Each structure stands twice: as C-alpha cells, then as structure tokens.
Amino acid sequence: MYGAQEAGQPGLAVCPLMCEPVEGRCHWCARELPATRRRWCSDACARNFEKNHWWPAARRTARRRDKYACRQCGRKRLDRIRLEVNHIEPALGRHSEVSCAHHLSNLETLCDECHRAVSAAQRNEKRGKARAGTPANRPEFA
C-alpha cells in the first residue's frame, strides 16, 4: 500500500501497520528504542505515524502541505471556499479508524466543487467495473 518513504517521510519502506513491529525497535523508523520508550524512538516518529494514519491529523497535515489550496483548480482558502481532503484511493468508510488509507501520499486537498467532481468520477468508474463483471457483459456467460 502506501509506505512511509512513499509519503515523503523518513522511515520504513513498509508501513508499520502492515507488518509486525520488531521488539525493541521504533515502530516508525526501526531504530533501536531508548530504554524509556516502548513504541517510538522519539516524539517526531510518533507524530509522523499519527500524521499518516490518524484521520484528523492526516487531514490537517495534507491541507498544510497543499498550502490550503485546491490541487485541481488552485483556488485557495482565502477565496472563501470550503477545502476538503480527498482520499485518492477511497477510504470506504475507514475515516474513524487508524488506517493506511490516510497516508499523505493518498491524500489531496480539493475545493468542494472539485471534490464532488472527483468523487462522482470515482463512483462512475467503480460502477463501470462492477458492470463489466456481470454475466450479461461477459462472453463466457452468453
């Protein structure tokens, strides 16, 4: 899926949620843990994990990264528009859980208008794929 390095963050090439962490190693960067730490070697590693897995932090970080502007049309928050954060690969209802769907590499800031257009295109694409798999559209079932 989306690894820490792909998200532009120093860290493991594989997401820490995707594999079992190594005992005594940081769950984000795999460095040896100081004796006083259990999961992260530093506050910075804990924050990087949070910014890539916890929806409120990931959303806030994506908006900041995109300089509070829509990545599609370039309109800015200063234009009195509503900015939303879109999952490039849809999260499918996983907003409330810690998830790899929230990696920064999978997020983009969009204005409300562009977000609606992108979401509609994603829905249409999904419907098209679903229809292509139905027996009526497959020659082996004709």
The tokens of 13 are what? 């090439």
The tokens of 119 are what? 């979401």
The tokens of 24 are what? 């005594």
CA distances, 74 to each of 68, 79, 81, 109 (Å): 9, 10, 11, 10
With 0.85 as the threshold, say if the pTM is over it: no
Torsion sign over Cα 14, 20, 23, 24: positive
pLDDT tens, position by position, 75-119: 998 878 899 999 998 887 767 778 888 999 999 999 999 999 999
Residue 41 · residue 32 · CB < 8 Å? yes
pLDDT number for residue 91: 80
Residue 63 · residue 83 · CB < 8 Å? yes
The percentage of residues in the chain with a pLDDT greater than 70, rounded to a whole number, is: 75
CA atoms within 13 A on the CB side of 134: 8
Classify 69 as helix, strand or coil.
strand
